[in-house]
Amino acid sequence: MSQIQNKKTAVRYTIITPEQEQRRIDNYLLSVLKGVPRTRIYQMLRRGEVRVNGGRIKQSYRLHRGDKVRIPPVTVTVTDTAKPAEPHNYLLERVRDSVILENEDFLVLNKPSGIVVHSGSGRSFGVIEILRHLRPAQQGLQLVHRLDQETSGCLLIAKTLQCLKNLHRALKAGDIEKHYIALLKGHLHAFAIDVDQPLRKNTLRSGERLVEISEQGKYALSRFQVVREFQAASLVKVHLETGRTHQIRVHAKHLQHPVAGDNKYGDKDFNKSIRQAGLKRLFLHASRLVLPASHGLQALDIKAPLPADLAGFLDHYI
């Protein structure tokens, strides 16, 4: 017979990562304090028990990258016989085998396509939860940035709070180079094209995020360079000068050369033909990160090889 117990947690502090910024503080607390009644969470906010950067905030406050959030002690109800869910062995193996660089401050994954970077939206486990499961002594691992579920490639994970702050400062200053490889529909009108259209995020009623070009959006710059042309597509390198959500995919759509396999912003007929040719996923890969010798960081040029499924597709695609 199971026993129900009430347990009180200790005060804890979290640092807001890029993928968490712009969330309302109340929604953020609801996601990290699962099982705590909504009334208690709003009570904590009214009483000032929750602090951001040492100060009181309203429930409508929107989080910023690098914010330090104080989460007060809370009482949670647990069942002692309930066995916590665990990631499937398949996920554990894929994430464990994807580490391409590691030092005392951070590690870099060649993130597999099909795995989200963090839990939520119906996903119990993302890369960060899987890593913490694989490394129980390193529960402080934090995502430095994010990649879409279907995008593969370089993903930075900080081991220490200081490293997380250093990397966030470098990202905010634009001092970390981010390079991608993508397959686009058709042939671009020039060998090199810059797209600097501003982007605005929208969240639909269903919860789906959709990004659009808008004068009210944030500045965004993508530099496209053709590597190779096929009969109906072009392989390109993309250098991101900014890191907005879905930036490459929306800018490629703006060029009228959407990314192959993109079910959100892509071309349905092109996607169907490319799928029949053997492509089973979004052809977008974070191929390279270049870290500066500043912001407390060591200069590094990190490269993630093109996954076997994408490389194999190119070998047979005409």
Which residues lie closer than 8 Å to 45 by C-beta, 6 or more apart? Answer: 25, 26, 29, 57, 58, 59
Closest alpha carbon to 225 in 243, 239, 213:
239
- CA distance linking residue 113 with residue 209, whole number of Å: 19
For residue 121, give the 3-state DSSP assignment. Answer: coil
Q: How far apart (Å, rounded) are the C-alpha atoms in residues 107 and 100?
A: 8
pLDDT of residue 26: 87
Is CATH 3.40.50.300 what the domain over 174-316 is classified as, yes or no? no
pLDDT tens-digit map of 298-309: 999 999 999 999
Can you read off the two tokens belonging to residue 162? Answer: 């200081």
Domains 89-161 and 174-316 share a fold: yes
Distance CA 160, CA 67 (A): 15
Over residues 206-239, the pLDDT tens digits come to 667 789 999 999 999 999 999 999 999 999 999 9
Could you state, in order of their start, the residue ranges of all structural domains in the chain? 4-79, 89-161, 174-316
pTM: 0.76
* Residues in the chain where the model's pLDDT stays below 50: 1-2
Which pLDDT does position 5 carry in this prediction?
A: 58
Pick the CATH number of 89-161 from 3.40.50.1000, 3.30.2350.10, 1.10.150.120, 3.40.50.620: 3.30.2350.10
Active-site residue list:
148
CATH number assigned to the domain covering 4-79:
3.10.290.10
